[in-house]
A = this chain, B = another copy of it.
Amino acid sequence: MKLKLLAAAFILSATGANAQNDSLTMRKLSDNILLEGTCYENLRVLCKQVGHRLSGSPQAAKAVVWGQKAMEAAGADKVWLQPVDVPHWVRGKERLSLRFQGEKSFKDVKVLSIGNTVGTDGKVLEAPVVIVKSIEDFKKLQKEEVKGKIIFFNYRFRQDLVNTFEGYGDAGKYRWLAPNMAAAQGAVGVIIRSVSTGADDEPHTGSMRYADTVKPIPAVAIGNHTADMLEKECVKGSVTAQIESDCKMLGTVPSYNVIGEIRGSEYPDKIVLVGGHLDSWDIGEGAHDDGAGCVQSIEVIRALKAAGIRPKYTVRAVLFMNEENGLKGGLAYADSAKANNETHILAIETDAGGFSPRGFSLEMKPKEREHILQYKKLFAPYGIHDFDQVHGGADISPLQKQGVPVGGLIPDAQRYFDLHHTNADVFEQVNHRELKMGAVALTQLVYLVSKYGMR
């Protein structure tokens, strides 16, 4: 412990000469964003004038135009669109109806199809419901118990986990795996209890992908209250469900990542990237996920420019397309970076909600991590204390695979999975000061790394 502390002290003293200046500049950036920041107003426009914007949709195309203009208004030296082909999935109409033992008619319940799912091709899919508590439970079923059935995966989001992202990782597999597991055993449909911390009945959509080995079956999600009710009815007696939906994948359409940058004064070819994703699910307004990340990334450019800071390294803000159901934007960006021999010294994603920031996750070599950690004390006045988590972000994961050090802004996420991928993820759920504080932290980190590099 003592040695580690001495090492930390050494690093601090090595940069100590500049620490006071940097502290003042960080305050200046904070003041500017809190008093003159435009990210909240930008988010209002994105949410209220563009709205939700699933990849391939007309709104996604509108969002690209919005992003380009916002990046220009922020004062980026250069703004451009990077072509990327994206899947175009559509929801259309959807219905889940349940008939309980002893009842004659079906009752409609609140439902959202899981993203990328197939629909029922104009037919009504009707089948008995089989409830399972977990994947382990499901595996105990005989094939004939599954065949022809609609399987209800009634797995609860683990509310005991303090870190809700841990709970999301745990419960999220029910969205990704359950449809494939059930299809492989001959089920005709899947209902999941939403991947949700909500004390409410909001269904949560989200991505899934069919394995090449299975015949796709429709998959839908229900909110916690409906799931509680269905659970009770399944205990009482037999339940039959009807699913009817127009969901389908329409193929691939051209779209864009939106990119803006401030050219570095000394190392223009070395890039510090900050980004979020421009697409959202086709419900709500994609305010926290990830409108917040987009407007914060743009704010980094605006605030550096407003403070008259010319970074030594190039600072690039990227609004990635298609994080939600394909990651094509992140892949296209990394491919292009490789093809053009671009060097990214750090890539930071902000895609965990526009809530009060608490730290940065870091996925990089120990020496690179140490480099970031030397700044830890400078962040303390801003409530940024958590540098222990190890991951980056989905859009920058293809860069990470190329060896780029990556990180992510960590906001307080206690309420994120109440809202994530629901109709309730709207502008009104984002607080102006929390959103701005996130932009402050991002701008401060980008400022430091674009001044000192990563060595």
Contact = CB atoms under 8 A, between A and B. Distances in A.
A414 interface: yes
Contacts of A5: 5
Contact of A415 (B160, B386, B431): B431
Nearest to A382: B162
Contacts of A381: 162
Contact of A199 (B40, B162, B414): B40
A119 to B, nearest CB: 34
A386 B5 CA distance: 20
Contacts of A437: 162, 414
A233 interface: no
A182 to B, nearest CB: 28
A243 to B, nearest CB: 30
Interface stretch (A16-24, A27-35, A78-86, A186-194): A27-35
A31 B159 CA distance: 8
Nearest to A430: B415
Interface in A351-392: 356, 358, 381-383, 385-386
A99 interface: no
Contact of A162 (B30, B35, B415, B431): B30
8 contacts: A30-B160, A162-B382, A197-B433, A385-B385, A385-B386, A412-B412, A414-B431, A414-B433
Given A164-B433, A199-B432, A412 B356 contact: yes
A434 interface: yes
Interface residues of A, number: 30
A418 interface: yes
A35 B159 contact: yes
Contacts of A358: 383
Interface of A: 1, 5, 9, 30-31, 34-35, 40, 159-160, 162, 164, 197, 199, 356, 358, 381-383, 385-386, 412, 414-415, 418, 431-434, 437
Contacts of A414: 356, 431, 433-434, 437
Given A5-B5, A40-B199, A159 B433 contact: yes
Contacts of A31: 160
A412 to B, nearest CB: 5
A159 B34 contact: yes
A448 B259 CA distance: 52
Nearest to A44: B199
B160 A35 contact: yes
Q: Which of A30, A160, A381 has the most CB atoms of chain B within a 10 A radius of its CB?
A: A160
A122 to B, nearest CB: 40
Nearest to A1: B9
A197 B385 CA distance: 24
A268 to B, nearest CB: 33
Given A383-B386, A415-B434, 18 more contacts: A1-B9, A30-B162, A34-B159, A34-B162, A35-B159, A159-B433, A162-B381, A164-B433, A199-B432, A356-B412, A356-B414, A358-B383, A383-B412, A385-B385, A414-B431, A414-B434, A418-B431, A418-B433
A113 B257 CA distance: 51
A412 B412 CA distance: 9
A437 B386 CA distance: 17
A35 B413 CA distance: 17
Contacts of A412: 356, 383, 412
Contacts of A415: 431, 433-434
Contacts of A34: 159-160, 162
A256 B418 CA distance: 37
A238 B30 CA distance: 37
A141 B101 CA distance: 80
A101 B434 CA distance: 39
Contacts of A433: 159, 164, 197, 414-415, 418
A383 B162 contact: yes
Contacts of A199: 40, 432
A335 to B, nearest CB: 38
A9 B162 CA distance: 27
Nearest to A435: B414
